[in-house]
Structure 1
Amino acid sequence: MAYHTRSDSFPSRPHPIIQEADEHLSRLRSSESTSASSSTIRHKLSGLQDLHDCVDRLLQLPLNQQALAQEKNQKCYNELLDGSLRLLDVCSTAKDALLQTKEYMQNLQSIIRRRRGEESEVLKSEVKKYLASRKIVKKAIHKAMGNLKGMKNSVLNKDQETIAIVSKLRDVEAVTLTIFDSVLSFISRPKSRPSSWSLVSKMVLSKRIACDEEANVNEFDEVDAALKSLKSADNAQNQPSKLESCIQDQEEGLESLFRQLIKTRVSLLNILNH
């Protein structure tokens, strides 16, 4: 995405922070086409945090603060504030989806660890609760992903002739929304996927084949498939542990990013108050 910018906003020789932000943007854009896996999602979230750290430092530059504070740029400034709030909302949606999944998974694991024969009905009940919670999570995520399309279109359709700092922040917002879309898609898993039987079959393949396909593993999908075909507690013992580790990684990444997004929003608000 390219915007026409005026030369009076950024110096002719880019500031090192601007160059750093451009490098992060380039890496994140190039990662958009990579297959979604737990490791790639983790790296994308880490990259987003680094990018938004650069954004916060860009907002501390006096030249950019002066440009945004000008009365004629008030409309653009308000749009940036709205954009920062949108990013926080989407990040919160992803965090809530992970939290709900984790809570039901922990209840299920507690039953699995005990896995006494007389508790088989309890296990089945917890499995049903977990799968029901997944449906609720997926419904909320699909709604959020629908809203994301409108958000991204809104960013892309803004007036192209604007000051450079606004153009740069719009680029950041667009890339961030795209990455969030990837994260939400990974958590919910699109409906167009292999059959449950083929997914369960993958889980019992040899270690060599499993390692070859590790890059494309979706832990959420594996657990859903395993639990839907559940025969006993023993069959469900390993996959939830893998999912819990995956959720932990993504929770930490989203929480760190959420804090960084708040910090950036505070910086924008401070410019208004000055």
Structure 2
Amino acid sequence: MAALPCSKTRPFRSISLPVRSHPTTQRVEKVLNKLNALEISIAPTAETICNSLLGLEELQKCMDDLLNSTQTLQILSHHQHAKWFEELLEKSVKILDVCGTSREFVSQYKENVRALESSLRRRKGDSNADAEIARFTTFSKKMKKDAKRLVLSLKQVDGETPATAFLEADQETIAVIRALREANAVCILIFQMILSFLSVPLLKPKQPKWSLVSKLIKNGRTEREGLGNSAILETKLKTVEVQLDSIEMELEGTFRSLIRSRSLLLNVLSC
């Protein structure tokens, strides 16, 4: 089972904030540490992804509170022409775009799973079922390539804020910069998890093959065995559909929260 590059289990990054930082940045640190407790492996599960997206939504609410505070607005308004602030604005657009594309990928995957489920249930024309299986296999290969390209673009976004951003900055400014930077890093890691999940093929070549299932169904003498295998595969597809439904719903909330955060960052320019 080949997944996208994610060589080992890795946690979310936590931040170490100055003692006298804004109270909301302390909440950000708390949420990041909570996310850090989740195990992120080579092949993340749908449950881990949904829990991570729930944590991300909680994190984004903290970021909204941070960006809405008068103290933060004053800090950012004094640095709105700084290179690091311009980079944060640019990253917010790219991350929003990646979130939107990830939502589209999940939706497409779910539609294809449903089409394959429907084809197996009908089983009236085996040639139609075979054609649907071949189409789904082609779609899965394309999905893996598209996901890989999107991961590469994410890696370009996941750059560190230059160290110069922290030179001569006061403790509160440093805390805000770190909170914004780490919130972006968490978004990127979660989207990488989702893309890794989507890149794992459902039709494994060394498992009972779909073509074999089709042959078993065609063969009247082994019809019961064929129907049994088909039922197992239908159950698996239904499980994946439910998982994709959950991920899609959580991604919708994430997308809305990212739009709010982007709007709040833009508000700084009018201060």
* TM-score greater than 0.5 by the shorter chain: yes
State the shift of 1:129 in Å: 1.1
Taking only aligned residues, the RMSD between alpha carbons, in angstroms, comes to 2.8
Are residue 155 (structure 1) and residue 163 (structure 2) matched? Answer: no
- Measured in 1, the distance between the counterparts of 2:33 and 2:262 equals 23
Q: Taking structure 1 as the reference length, what is the TM-score of the superposition?
A: 0.77
> Against the structure 1 CA distance between its residues 67 and 55, is the aligned structure 2 distance closer, same or farther, given a 3 Å change threshold?
same
Q: Secondary structure at the match of 2:269?
A: helix
Partner of 1:132: 138
- Measured in 2, the distance between the counterparts of 1:157 and 1:30 equals 28
Matches within 5 A, 1:122-271: 122-152=128-158, 154-155=159-160, 159=164, 161=166, 163=173, 164-189=175-200, 196-197=205-206, 199=207, 227=210, 230-231=213-214, 232=217, 234=227, 235=230, 236-271=233-268
> Against the structure 1 CA distance between its residues 158 and 96, is the aligned structure 2 distance closer, same or farther, given a 3 Å change threshold?
farther
Partner of 2:116: 108
AA in 1 matched with 2:88: L
Q: Deviations over 1:193-246 (max 9, x none)?
A: xx743x55xxxxxxxxxxxxxxxxxxxxxxxxx646543484132221111101
> Against the structure 1 CA distance between its residues 95 and 13, is the aligned structure 2 distance closer, same or farther, given a 3 Å change threshold?
closer
Q: Taking structure 2 as the reference length, what is the TM-score of the superposition?
A: 0.78
Q: Secondary structure at the match of 2:101?
A: helix
Stretches of structure 1 that go unaligned for 5 or more consecutive residues are: 201-225
Contact 2:95 2:188 in 1 (8 A): yes
Partner of 1:120: 126
Partner of 1:27: 34
> Against the structure 1 CA distance between its residues 166 and 228, is the aligned structure 2 distance closer, same or farther, given a 3 Å change threshold?
farther
Are residue 84 (structure 1) and residue 92 (structure 2) matched? Answer: yes
Contact 1:52 1:260 in 2 (8 A): yes
State the shift of 1:112 in Å: 2.0
> Against the structure 1 CA distance between its residues 157 and 186, is the aligned structure 2 distance closer, same or farther, given a 3 Å change threshold?
farther
Q: Answer with 106-115 or 238-247: which moved more.
A: 106-115
- Measured in 2, the distance between the counterparts of 1:160 and 1:30 equals 29
State the shift of 1:29 in Å: 2.6
Contact 1:156 1:174 in 2 (8 A): no
- Measured in 1, the distance between the counterparts of 2:248 and 2:256 equals 12
Contact 1:101 1:130 in 2 (8 A): no
> Against the structure 1 CA distance between its residues 4 and 44, is the aligned structure 2 distance closer, same or farther, given a 3 Å change threshold?
closer
Contact 2:15 2:29 in 1 (8 A): no
Partner of 1:67: 75
AA in 2 matched with 1:46: L
> Against the structure 1 CA distance between its residues 4 and 241, is the aligned structure 2 distance closer, same or farther, given a 3 Å change threshold?
closer
> Against the structure 1 CA distance between its residues 3 and 122, is the aligned structure 2 distance closer, same or farther, given a 3 Å change threshold?
closer
- Measured in 2, the distance between the counterparts of 1:228 and 1:50 equals 45
**Percent of aligned pairs with the same amino acid:** 28
State the shift of 1:156 in Å: 5.7
> Against the structure 1 CA distance between its residues 72 and 13, is the aligned structure 2 distance closer, same or farther, given a 3 Å change threshold?
closer
> Against the structure 1 CA distance between its residues 63 and 105, is the aligned structure 2 distance closer, same or farther, given a 3 Å change threshold?
same
